[in-house]
Structure 1
């Protein structure tokens, strides 16, 4: 059986489960081509037992797939709150607490649905990680490399940091649990931060490094000892103004006085969904 979850089966299944109570149908997703639009979930104003999903047809297929899963997350988690959800590309970063929270919850749900943790954990624990390995896993799940890397950060036992750069400035930084416990974080040289000198991320002549380049961890992380090493990976997207950096650091002992990592644990909304056995068997 394919590793990728069949979203069409999930869509058709949901109204027959406790998570679809009061709903007769979720209509097949439809395209809506608008650069500012990412996705939408809405109740039919003429038939309250019917909901519909729309997605940006201009997006890459992997992004369309994530968007549909995201809207299914809204259906399960949030439809009792409002009649429609309009998800633009910046909705998570609006600064409006309620909107930001529900968008992040829907993103968490989509990640869990499309990239099951049991499979991912088994695959990443059995081999040495590089962008080739993560890219292959992304293809198996039919998701983007970026989405897979974010998911990887949550499940890896390695000290790992993922950084997304937009026009030369950091847009987000994700740290694995072991990276947080050892206080590993990237050097901040401004607000927003730029890549540190001497790194692949700072070298515009290097667009891809999927095998990894070893260097002193202190170049990236100011609290790391000089003898510590890391491997830096780089992926430049087609537009060349967006870059993904993955840092895999040597292991280190947790710094027991630092408890800030505990505040960054996120709730897996999808885990609650699958607890009751509502997900179709993927084996």
Structure 2
């Protein structure tokens, strides 16, 4: 349908998405060099159905947002958090497009309102949207009014941290014990004997966040993936007012993606 709309101006056809046989590449958007009015989308056939769906939506985002800039887009697992700034920006824009397309904000906001959030609830939402659990959790962070932090760990080190807008405004961030950071002692993330905690465990917020008072509480949730080398941590903190003595949050990016201490070559998976 797109070629018949302003979003597909100058394009005659977008080919049906096709399987890509390059393992290192998640997806591609390519203009036919022999027919400039034809474009094609490719995806990694070994990926899960949810990942394929997101990849196709991501490449569609490149088509609508960026096709005037380049003739092709090769999206590998390093694209979002490595490479030159221009590549990072357009990859994030394509990710945002895919998230908005597959997980509409009005529906998500409606579903998360007026109920106690835990990983069971978020998992059910991921299934309804037909997206990965991780993608849904990241989307939740962007829309929740709660102070929330999501941390993805890979082989014992933090790969990224996402913070909700209210967490950013109240300066809530995880305590760093290195670069990259490792799970903090006394947390579920650091406890190798616990694989899953979907109902949440309450603890002092100061264990995780250095600027939180000892009396402030949070609930920590944990999801370990099959090999247990990848862990997703969700922290839901008690409400707090924005710190009046520190207004620098106004200049921060609301999604706060941990860029300040991710080294080259590390990335967040979509």
TM over 0.5: yes
Q: Tell me, yes or no, if the aligned pair for 2:168 and 2:254 is still in contact at 8 Å.
A: no
Deviations 1:80-127 (A, max 9, x none): 011110111111122301111111110111111110000000000121
Structure 2 distance, partners of 1:258, 1:67, is 37
Residues 261 and 243 of structure 1, relative CA distance in 2, 3 Å threshold? farther
Aligned match of 2:252? 263
Q: Which is helix-richer, 1 or 2?
A: 1
Is this contact kept in 2: 1:130–1:211, CA < 8 A? yes
Match of 2:26 among 38, 46, 52: 38
Q: Name the counterpart of 1:234.
A: 222
Of 75, 91, 101, the residue aligned with 2:63 is 75
CA–CA distance in structure 2, aligned partners of residues 262 and 118 of structure 1: 26
Tell me the distance in 1 between the aligned counterparts of 2:16 and 2:196. 38
1:250 to 228, 238, 242: 238
Structure 1 SS opposite 2:80: helix
2-side partners of 1:261 and 1:205: how far apart? 40
The CA deviation at 1:261 is 5.1
Contact 1:177-1:261 within 8 A present in 2 as well = no
Equivalent in the alignment of 1:180: 168
Secondary structure in structure 2 of the residue aligned to 1:92: coil
Partner SS for 2:145: coil
One of 196, 204, 210 as aligned partner of 1:222: 210
Distance 1:173 1:77 in 2: 26
TM-score w.r.t. length of structure 2: 0.92
Q: Provide the C-alpha distance between the structure 2 equivalents of 1:105 and 1:33, rounded to a whole number of angstroms.
A: 25
Aligned length, in residue pairs:
254
Counterpart of 2:98 (choices 110, 126, 137) is: 110
* Per-residue deviation, 1:34: 2.9
Partners of 1:170 and 1:194 within 8 A in 2: yes
Is 1:88 matched with 2:76?
Answer: yes
Counterpart in 2 of 1:199?
187
SS at match of 2:37: strand
User: Structure 2: which 5+ runs fail to align?
Assistant: 256-270
Q: Deviations over 1:180-239 (max 9, x none)?
A: 111100010011100110100001111111111111111101111111110000111122
Question: 2:43 matched to 1:55?
Answer: yes
Find the aligned partners of 2:230 and 2:205 in 1 and give their Cα distance: 23
Indicate the SS of the match to 1:264.
coil
- RMSD of aligned alpha carbons: 1.0
Alpha-carbon distance between aligned partners in 2 of 1:45 and 1:33, rounded to the nearest angstrom: 20
Measure how far apart 1:156 and its partner are. Answer: 0.4
Asked whether 1:169 is paired with 2:157, we answer yes
